[in-house]
Chains A and B, each alone.
Chain A
């Protein structure tokens, strides 16, 4: 990772991701290279947060990108931004993978899970993603402890809310509502609209 050598400043803004996806939908492989550049960092980040294993994460991240290429003609803007679409796909894939192999052993990893916030990658080269990260960190800190743990264990560790409840020794209903009101508070803090 130390040999990441991307240039941090851009003379011109990158083409809009929606526009790139629209071109990919028409079979434009050149545009797909642009899509790759725009999404691979977050895709790999999401997948790695959930799977933790580097080799497996790369494999799943590649599958996600291939899936983006394959299904781009069916992407619909009215269902959300292109980045949301890609990251939802990535998270779903990662979660499916992790549940298929380790659902039964989740409890054994209790200690490891509880201390493991995602390793936010501070070597990131782009100012905008550093800002994004800072904002997300700040908003996560604004949650209650239980909200934060519920959200991060579910999203970053790929646990079901039942598993989260077991880990935290909380009633199911509590985790269910904290997951929701935690995400709602995050939504408002981050200024998300959809």
Chain B
């Protein structure tokens, strides 16, 4: 496995979006704990932006009206919520309709792309989702969203899982399958990963090895999510190495 120094040299490839998913995930784990790497990534991203500026081309003039028409129909995301101390979103329990699941699975199958799909894990995600009847209306809406996409996740202890992301809802959910119970006094915490910076996204129920959790807070353009083991009640920042880091499906 790569050492830290070796990982550090991936800043360039990461800034240029030239890493494959798996390596990007492991680099993002490294990034969240390496401020000098994060700073270098910011600088190299600013550098690649200059390469982008230099490639500037003149658009077809009519495009502007087309885009302005399109945005008139697109609702903006609300501003980011402040920190981990804000109140958790209200959740109204509601039964998850079967059609919502069907829509979720159909949309995911249509959009997921064969490369990131493994049928067994999809099936597991669907089975888990089916058990999520007590989850909130938001979760149902997320799973039913026409743009909902699913990505299988492997946890470090061998357990399975899946993330479901719907940009139109600006939300994500995590489906855990057979996760090991956390040690006493500990809890699994979910995080959104913004370019390797972890943002708290709620806690999992320590009493259940299989569960579907609506991640707290908006996607906010997050590139992926992570899970860490934290003291009960959760932490403001990850204090342990992630048990999983998953990039959201593109």
- A interface, CB within 8 angstroms of B: 1, 3-6, 25, 27, 29, 32-33, 36-37, 40-46, 48-49, 58, 61-62, 65-66, 69-74, 76, 79-81, 83-84, 87-92, 95-96, 100, 118, 120-121, 123-125, 129, 132-133, 135-137, 151, 154-156, 158-162, 164, 176-177, 179-184, 186-187, 190, 192-194
A76 and B222 CA atoms in complex are apart in Å by 13
Q: Are B67 and A36 in contact (CB under 8 A)?
A: yes
Q: Are A184 and B61 in contact (CB under 8 A)?
A: no
> Closest Cβ of chain B: how far from A23's Cβ, in Å?
12
> With A71-B77, A100-B113 known to touch, is A161 a contact of B18 (CB < 8 Å)?
yes
Surface stretch bound by A, among B48-56, B88-96, B231-239: B48-56
B residues less than 8 Å from A190 (CB atoms): 47, 50
B residues less than 8 Å from A41 (CB atoms): 56-59
- Provide 21 A-B residue pairs closer than 8 Å at the C-beta atoms, listed in order of the A residue: A29-B72, A36-B64, A40-B63, A58-B59, A69-B74, A71-B76, A72-B76, A83-B53, A84-B49, A88-B48, A91-B52, A121-B57, A124-B56, A137-B54, A155-B16, A159-B18, A176-B13, A180-B13, A187-B43, A187-B46, A190-B50
A36 and B195 CA atoms in complex are apart in Å by 24
Knowing that A6-B58, A154-B13, A156-B55 touch, tell me 17 more A-B residue pairs with CB under 8 angstroms.
A41-B58, A41-B59, A44-B57, A45-B52, A45-B56, A48-B57, A58-B63, A72-B76, A74-B79, A95-B17, A118-B55, A132-B54, A136-B54, A179-B16, A180-B11, A182-B12, A194-B39
A180 and B113 CA atoms in complex are apart in Å by 30
Check: B83 CB closer than 8 A to any chain A CB.
Answer: no
> Closest Cβ of chain A: how far from B111's Cβ, in Å?
10
